[in-house]
Structure 1
Amino acid sequence: MKVLVVKMSSLGDVIHTLPALSDAVSMKDDVRFDWVVEEAFAAIPEQHPSVEEVIPVGIRRWTRKPTGWEGIRDAFRFVRQLRRRDYDLIIDAQGLIKSAVVSGFARGKVAGLDGESAREPMSQRFYHETVSVARSEHAVTRVRQLFAGTLGYEVPPGNPDYGLGGAQCSLGEATGRIMLLHGTTWESKHWPRACWRDLARQLTETGYEVVLTSGNARERERAEFIVRDLPEARLLPQMPLADVMREMSLCDGVVSVDSGLGHLAVAMDIPVIGIYGASNANLTGMYGGRVITLATRHLPCAPCLRKECQFLSLPNRTTIFPPCYEQITPQRVASTLIGVLTR
């Protein structure tokens, strides 16, 4: 049975889809997958053993700036590639109108979430078959239930299998290296840079090597501040996602805010300490057997799900902002991580 998966972005959402493929091949011997994904994230489905072909799409590139005839030609080439074979089933695992339209270009029956379950209810109008999944479930569980409903099996019990651990992680040998993933999208999801620097100092003083990544100029500036004058801390050069995965596989552990790379570390079966404030870890948090989530508990507004913190900085509070990180101190993060690594 040949199935096309349409889950194009973002990085965390793409990673959340991987366990559903592992479920499917464990329950149905004959199922194999192709996958439509944004070109920047193609390295992720390429690593899953059940994906035979990755079909990259450049919607983000086409929409961020005028592309002229070159972009139009790219779009036509993509559609031709998408339609060159028939599929037994097409699963829109994203639940957006744009993903439903892309699914409709492919040749085969299209399935997706119903209007009560999808992020954009109008997407159900493009499907031949729909599945109802509770919005209160974690994103990983929702996709696993979508695949189970369309392919006709029960979701297997146990922790999710992302299909990346065996292919990417080192052979279990301690390297003494910790990766700090400080970059994220929303302002409200950023742990204060002073906290990151203090954490890096504590880890290097304990004997660990600390490495940081950066994806843009702003992240690079923050990373340079964090590693400044810390001989055992360094900033990695900007690199493709596949190379980030290789660097990550050399690490004993990872500390991350709510970011796509944090979800990737969990999927690679690396011990992760996840730092959560504005976003809801119960619905979209890092999900796996080797992650410890440190989430805000002391403020009634958290998780606010807002891109900008609406909490006013008051004179009688600490200098930590956003204030939902007041109780997630560098000392707490360091002791939690070291406790995991020294068990």
Structure 2
Amino acid sequence: MYRKILIVKPSSLGDIVHSLAFLSSIKREFPRVEIHWVVAKGLEGILDGHPLIARLFVVDKEGWKNPLLLFRTLKELISLGRELKKESYDAVVDLQGLFRSGLITWLSGCPVRVGFSDARELAHLFYNRSVEGGRAGHAVERYLKLARLLGVNGEEISFAFGPLSPSPVREGYFVVVPGARWPSKRWPTEYFIELLNMMAPSGLTPVIVGSREDISLSQAIVEGLRGRCINLAGKTDLRGLCSVIRDARFMITNDSGPMHIGAALGVRVFAIFGPTDERLTGPYGEDSLVIKADGIDCRPCRKRVCKSMRCLYEIKPRDVYTILLDSGALLDSVQRDSPGL
């Protein structure tokens, strides 16, 4: 039915991971379709070389936000539109649902432009096929609504990652994600230190991951653990990050991009949630557990900055440790690493 489809999903990392379920569903239903993808600079690593994606268009999304670069932005958009028109797509799907992504969808010149009728920033004005539901339900399920609009019938959900190399870390470790894009989503660093010191008798090695922006807080954790960990913050590309997460026993994480990678790869995820709504952006997987404070009337507020951060400070390290014990994660670790058990 379709010869060539363009996915417009520039960011963010977690949303791109969720979009892999859309990619999988399209390729299952239409195995011969050629898929192209518009992705933001800096995030192309998770899609580059993917066997299900024939072409990537990498755009300077952050640069486009700078009003001083307006002329350059317009020039880049016009150039991108010309390139997209040359491809003669059968359908273009805007999974981002914002003005710029809607504009890219329209600039493609494609006769079938798909998105949500309730998309933000008037993006829906650029579509000619739409469905309601862009703001309710989990992101994975929202994207699959658009897949059904294209004719996908199956209900199976899977996340199509490209080939990954073996983890550079030897077995017997768990992943820790102390960072997050919003300051309000970061569980206190001192809480991570206290929790990881409690977990030391398990014999598992904490492996700290994150971006270059997370280096300082990751280093604080290293010092708090007196070096009894591996710090990979700022030292892996996206493919390497996926490899490290995939081979971990489990992960302890804030609401972050790496959290979604872990859930999609089937890793056991313990996700600490504060101001965001886990029903919309929580880890999508059977082995995922959301840890949140009870009785906090103001959550989820979705504030990027918060003076009190009560919803996170109320989640004590001892509480998280108890959850890990009750889940069997630490017991499983002891059993796996102890001869004769």
Measured against the shorter chain, the TM-score band is 0.7 to 0.9
Deviation at 1:185, TM superposition (A): 2.0
Structure 2 CA distance, aligned partners of 1:307 and 1:50?
Answer: 35
Aligned partners of 1:195 and 1:329 also within 8 Å: no
Alpha-carbon distance change, 268 to 168 in structure 1, aligned in 2, over 3 angstroms: farther
Question: What residue number does 1:318 align with?
Answer: none
Query: Cα deviations across residues 121-167 of structure 1 (Å, max 9, x unaligned)?
Result: x2111112112226331111000111111x1233514xx31112x83
* 3-state SS of paired residue (1:329): helix
Deviation at 1:264, TM superposition (A): 1.4
Structure 1 unaligned regions, length at least 5: 314-320
Structure 2 CA distance, aligned partners of 1:249 and 1:176?
Answer: 13
Deviation at 1:322, TM superposition (A): 3.8
* 3-state SS of paired residue (1:226): helix
Structure 2 CA distance, aligned partners of 1:135 and 1:75?
Answer: 27
Structure 1 CA distance, aligned partners of 2:102 and 2:145?
Answer: 18
Structure 2 CA distance, aligned partners of 1:274 and 1:201?
Answer: 19
Aligned partners of 1:96 and 1:123 also within 8 Å: yes
Alpha-carbon distance change, 237 to 322 in structure 1, aligned in 2, over 3 angstroms: closer
* 3-state SS of paired residue (2:253): strand
Structure 2 CA distance, aligned partners of 1:95 and 1:63?
Answer: 16
Deviation at 1:168, TM superposition (A): 3.1
Question: What residue number does 2:190 align with?
Answer: 194
Alpha-carbon distance change, 178 to 104 in structure 1, aligned in 2, over 3 angstroms: same
**Are residues 1:180 and 2:168 paired?**
no
Q: What code does the residue aligned with 1:55 have?
A: F
**Are residues 1:215 and 2:196 paired?**
no
Which runs of at least 4 in structure 1 moved beyond 6 Å after TM superposition?
68-73
Structure 2 CA distance, aligned partners of 1:114 and 1:334?
Answer: 39
Structure 2 CA distance, aligned partners of 1:184 and 1:133?
Answer: 27
Structure 2 unaligned regions, length at least 5: 337-341
Aligned partners of 1:3 and 1:31 also within 8 Å: yes
Query: Cα deviations across residues 98-126 of structure 1 (Å, max 9, x unaligned)?
Result: 101011121312433343x3233x21111
Q: What code does the residue aligned with 1:13 have?
A: D
Deviation at 1:36, TM superposition (A): 0.5
Structure 2 CA distance, aligned partners of 1:255 and 1:312?
Answer: 19
Structure 2 CA distance, aligned partners of 1:97 and 1:61?
Answer: 15
Question: What residue number does 1:252 align with?
Answer: 249
- Could you tell me the percent identity over the aligned residues? 24
Question: What residue number does 1:317 align with?
Answer: none
Structure 1 CA distance, aligned partners of 2:309 and 2:21?
Answer: 40
Aligned partners of 1:198 and 1:330 also within 8 Å: no
Structure 2 CA distance, aligned partners of 1:236 and 1:223?
Answer: 9
Does 67-76 or 89-98 show the bigger shift?
67-76
Structure 2 CA distance, aligned partners of 1:81 and 1:242?
Answer: 27
Structure 2 CA distance, aligned partners of 1:170 and 1:216?
Answer: 22
Aligned partners of 1:55 and 1:82 also within 8 Å: no
Deviation at 1:9, TM superposition (A): 0.9
Deviation at 1:30, TM superposition (A): 3.0
Question: What residue number does 1:299 align with?
Answer: 296
Structure 1 CA distance, aligned partners of 2:86 and 2:172?
Answer: 48
Deviation at 1:178, TM superposition (A): 1.2
Structure 2 CA distance, aligned partners of 1:129 and 1:72?
Answer: 26
* 3-state SS of paired residue (1:51): coil
TM-score by structure 2 length?
A: 0.84
Structure 1 CA distance, aligned partners of 2:200 and 2:139?
Answer: 35
Structure 2 CA distance, aligned partners of 1:251 and 1:185?
Answer: 23
| Aligned residues: CA RMSD | 2.9
Structure 2 CA distance, aligned partners of 1:134 and 1:76?
Answer: 27
Deviation at 1:67, TM superposition (A): 5.2
How is 1:75-154 mapped onto 2 (pairs within 5 angstroms)? 75=77, 77-115=79-117, 117-120=118-121, 122-133=122-133, 135-149=135-149, 151-154=150-153
Q: What code does the residue aligned with 2:275 have?
A: A
Q: What code does the residue aligned with 2:147 have?
A: F
Aligned partners of 2:254 and 2:272 also within 8 Å: yes
**Are residues 1:60 and 2:62 paired?**
yes
Structure 1 CA distance, aligned partners of 2:227 and 2:87?
Answer: 55
Does 333-342 or 220-229 show the bigger shift?
333-342
